[in-house]
A and B are shown apart, each in its own frame.
Chain A
Amino acid sequence: MSQPIHFHPSSGFDQRSREAMNDLHLRRSFRGAMDFLQAKRRAQFTDANELSRLRDLGEAIRRHALANLPQLLEELESRLSRNGVQVHWAQTPEEARAIVLEIAKRKEAKSVVKGKSMVSEEIGLNHALEAAGIDALETDMGEYIVQLAGEAPSHIIMPAIHKTKQQIAELFAAKLPGVAYTENVDELIRIGREVLRKKFATADIGLSGVNFMVAETGTLFLVENEGNGRMCTTVPKVHIAITGIEKVVAKLDHVAILNTLLPRSATGQPVETYQNFISSPRKPGELDGPDEVHLILLDNGRTQAYGDVQLRATLQCIRCGACMNHCPVYARIGGHAYGTTYPGPIGAIISPHLLGLGATHRLATASTLCGACAEVCPVRIPITDLLVRLRNEAQAADADSSLRGAGESRKPLVSILFRAWALVYRYPTLYRLSTWLMSRGRAFMPGYQGAWTGIRTPLIPAKKRLRDLMAERQRTN
Chain B
Amino acid sequence: MPNHTDAPRRYPAKPAAAYLFSTCLVDQFSPEAGLDAVRLLEREGIAVHFPPDQTCCGQPAYSSGYPEEAKAVARLQLDLFPEPWPVVVPSGSCAAMMLHNYPKLFADDPVLGPKAVALAERVFEFTEFLVHVVGFSRHDEAAEPCTIALHTSCHARREMGVHATSAALLAGLHKVTVAQQARAEECCGFGGTFSLRHPEISEAIVTDKVASLKESGAEAVVSADCGCLFNILGHAEFLDKEAGRKPTLPGEHIASFLWRRTGGGDQA
Contacts and interface: CB of A to CB of B under 8 A. Distances in A.
Do A and B come into direct contact in the complex, CB within 8 Å?
A: yes
Nearest to B191: A368
Contacts of B157: 371
A419 B196 contact: no
Interface string A51-67: 01000100100010000
A401 to B, nearest CB: 12
- Looking at A59, A375, A425, the one whose CB has the most chain B CB atoms below 10 A away is A425
Interface string B66-97: 11111011011000000000000000000000
B112 interface: no
Interface in A375-427: 375, 380, 382, 385, 388, 391-395, 414-415, 418-419, 421-422, 424-427
A461 B27 CA distance: 9
Contacts of B53: 428
A317 interface: no
Interface in B225-247: 230-231, 234-235, 237-238, 241
B174 interface: no
B138 to A, nearest CB: 21
Contacts of A426: 55, 72-73, 75-76
Given A380-B2, A382-B3, A470-B38, A368 B154 contact: yes
A467 B50 contact: yes
Contacts of B205: 328-329, 332, 368
B22 interface: yes
A421 B192 CA distance: 14
A303 interface: no
Nearest to A428: B53
Contact of B234 (A27, A380, A456): A456
A280 B66 CA distance: 51
A129 B125 CA distance: 57
Contacts of A470: 35, 38, 50, 52
B187 A459 contact: no
A422 B55 CA distance: 10
Contacts of B60: 421
Interface in B21-67: 22, 24, 26-32, 34-35, 38, 50, 52-56, 58, 60-67
B253 to A, nearest CB: 12
A300 interface: no
A272 interface: no
Interface residues of A, number: 70
Interface stretch (A186-194, A225-233, A446-454): A446-454
Nearest to B204: A332
Dominant secondary structure of chain A at its interface with chain B: helix
Interface stretch (A13-21, A138-146, A169-177): A13-21
A457 B204 contact: no
A366 B197 CA distance: 8
Contact of A21 (B50, B185, B200): B200
A368 B58 contact: no
Interface residues of B, number: 74
A370 B198 CA distance: 15
Given A372-B158, A462-B29, A454 B191 contact: no
Contacts of A468: 31
A374 interface: yes
B29 A460 contact: yes
B10 interface: no
B201 interface: yes
B189 interface: yes
A426 B73 CA distance: 5
B65 A391 contact: yes
B154 A392 contact: no
A234 to B, nearest CB: 39
Given A425-B73, A466-B22, A374 B34 contact: no
A18 B72 contact: no
A78 interface: no
A372 B154 contact: yes
A464 B32 CA distance: 9
A279 interface: no
B154 to A, nearest CB: 4
Contacts of B52: 428, 467, 470-471
A27 B211 CA distance: 15
Nearest to B39: A473
Interface stretch (A113-121, A206-214, A283-291, A431-439): A431-439
A256 interface: no
B186 interface: yes
Nearest to A423: B72
Given A59-B2, A366-B198, A425-B56, A467 B27 contact: yes
A273 B34 CA distance: 55
A185 B206 CA distance: 34
A369 B157 CA distance: 12
B237 A457 contact: yes
B66 A366 contact: no
Contacts of A392: 65-67
A330 to B, nearest CB: 10
B43 to A, nearest CB: 14
Given A451-B195, A451-B196, A471-B52, 14 more contacts: A21-B201, A21-B204, A328-B189, A388-B65, A421-B69, A422-B69, A422-B70, A435-B24, A455-B238, A456-B235, A457-B237, A457-B238, A466-B34, A470-B35
Interface of A: 14, 17-18, 21, 27, 35, 52, 56, 59, 63, 310, 328-329, 332-333, 365-372, 374-375, 380, 382, 385, 388, 391-395, 414-415, 418-419, 421-422, 424-428, 431, 435, 438-439, 450-457, 459-462, 464-471, 473
14 contacts: A329-B198, A332-B201, A365-B194, A372-B187, A388-B65, A392-B67, A421-B60, A422-B66, A422-B73, A435-B28, A453-B238, A456-B230, A465-B27, A473-B35
The 7 closest A-B pairs by CB, nearest first: A368-B191, A391-B65, A456-B234, A451-B199, A370-B154, A422-B69, A370-B187
